[in-house]
Amino acid sequence: MPVNNSIRIEGAAEALKVLNKAAPDIVREINKDLKAAVKPVVQDAKQLLPRPSALTNWGQWITPSGRDLSFDAGKARRGVKAATRRTPERDLRSNYGGRRYKVIPLLELRQTDPAGAIYERAGAKTSTRLGRSLNRKHGSVSIDLGNTLSGRALYPAFFRRENGIMRDVRTAVHRIETETTKRLST
């Protein structure tokens, strides 16, 4: 159960889709730029993960199906990743006016380690003993900015560097628009 947090910019998805058909080489370069923009966030999120364990009593935890949910700080750190999206567009409803629009998320921050994902989100929606224990030791998962965002490592790391990331993403989006216009006009 990976945790995904996306950066979405309306309109860029359509331009990227067109550019991907016309010049996939440019799209690869832009994806590198986007990943480079969030590299500091990935490093910060890794530093925010606890060492050596999230809780002293979070030892071996093997599910009946054999899945290992034991917290390993090294695995949790390796599980923090930035990924550019190549998935099909999704139909989403806007928070402003309720209109629907198509979107392809440009970039995602992910926690791919199952135990790291549990650490990231436990207690976000329901009150469980694990969530309450993590909240006491590592802080609550909710940050209220008009909509409730949650996470113990990914969101705080993102908000530490939000201005720089958004500047770099806007630069990449401008490059997408410029390259799309250039390729379509030739």
Regions of the chain short of the pLDDT cut 50: 1, 144-148
- Residue 178 in tokens: 């410029």
C-beta of residue 165 within 8 angstroms of C-beta of residue 7: yes
Please state the pTM of the whole predicted model. Answer: 0.72
What span, in angstroms and rounded, lies between the C-alpha atoms of 164 and 171? 11
Neighbouring residues of 148: CB distance < 8 A, sequence distance ≥ 6: 142
Using one digit for the tens of pLDDT, what is the confidence trace for 6-46? 555 566 666 667 777 877 888 788 888 888 888 999 999 99
- Residue 157 in tokens: 């790391």
Query: If you search the block for the tokens 């390796």, which residue do you land on?
Result: 78
- Residue 61 in tokens: 């935890």
